[in-house]
Structure 1
């Protein structure tokens, strides 16, 4: 499936996808654990690749605080509309979204980025963290994309500061006894919420 087809799918089913992404308890707990793993700090600049309807934006914003910045990128205009509505309802001035391909994000770390300012309306100097949930399985070259994200956070790191962080999460079959019982349910959910291949 092409990126254009995936974007069209998520635009067409944005409302439905938002309900799954935002209202499913198990998915919500997974999102919290992923943000914990990324471990953003107050004042950080965090970018979410494939932000969808913005289900993670509030969790990220809570962690970076009002002095940090959260930028969500997605290729689908439909899900970005829902994400912008979420941002507007919550009145988050430091959370921004833009239409962009996660494999070619409009970001450069280490110097103010005009591309970022043009795409999101905000200029960032360094990216401290990158988060991607349920995205890499849809990319043609997931390892290449993750390598690029690692370079993005490493480029802005100073010797005196800890390196930036990248956290990638997806779903896989569980080998735990209870998880094995739920595997068919998760498989059905993934088939329902993902674009046809």
Structure 2
């Protein structure tokens, strides 16, 4: 029978779900964009999501779970040089890719932080693509983002859902 100390040591050596996710996204950082580019409709989806925010020049917009920064150019274009874009992610590998992508954009800032507790206040808009399903309590997290933008602010969530298109349903019945 294992002693209490050996059970305790086994528990502490098991990585947290957060650590597992950070490791996964860091390992896949260099391939993520290649896969996304080959996924039909993703580019259009990024464009449409940025448009849906309805941001103006000079606004401050945050992308929660920005990953490799694929959405950041769309956001930076809409807020212009007088606006601010902040990308938040907790995985260092994807932030490195995002940093390289946005190196020529001085109004884009990248923050390594947990999107469930972003170190920000008072922003005009929040975008989150393909991340809300990763949280233990998505409704609570999205509610905190709504508080972050406050009255008149904008929040756009993009995530996966089961298709109703019969063609795609035949190809992917899951």
Corresponding residue of 1:59:
74
Asked if 2 retains the 8 angstrom alpha-carbon contact of 1:173 and 1:183, the reply is no
Match of 2:125 in 1: 129
Q: 2:157 aligns with which of 135, 145, 168?
A: 168
Determine which of 136, 139, 145 is the counterpart of 1:140: 136
In our comparison, the structure showing a higher alpha carbon Rg is: 2
How much is the aligned-residue C-alpha RMSD, in angstroms? 1.6
5+ residue gaps, structure 2, are 1-15
Measured after TM superposition, the shift of residue 181 of structure 1 is 3.4
Q: Is the 8 A contact 1:40 1:129 kept in 2?
A: yes
Q: Mapping of 1:1-197 within 5 angstroms?
A: 2-22=17-37, 24-88=39-103, 91-109=104-122, 127-154=123-150, 157=151, 163-183=152-172
C-alpha distance in 2 between matches for 1:27 and 1:17: 12
- Give the distance between the partners of 2:19 and 2:91, measured in 1 at CA: 9
SS at match of 1:13: helix
Distance 1:165 1:147 in 2: 12
Paired residues, number: 159
Provide TM-score, normalisation by structure 2. Answer: 0.86
Divergent runs of 4+, >6 A: none
For 1:97-136, what per-residue CA distance to the aligned partner results, in whole angstroms no more than 9, with x for missing partners? 1100000000122xxxxxxxxxxxxxxxxx0000000001
Partners of 1:132 and 1:167 within 8 A in 2: yes
Displacement after TM superposition at 1:22 (Å): 4.4
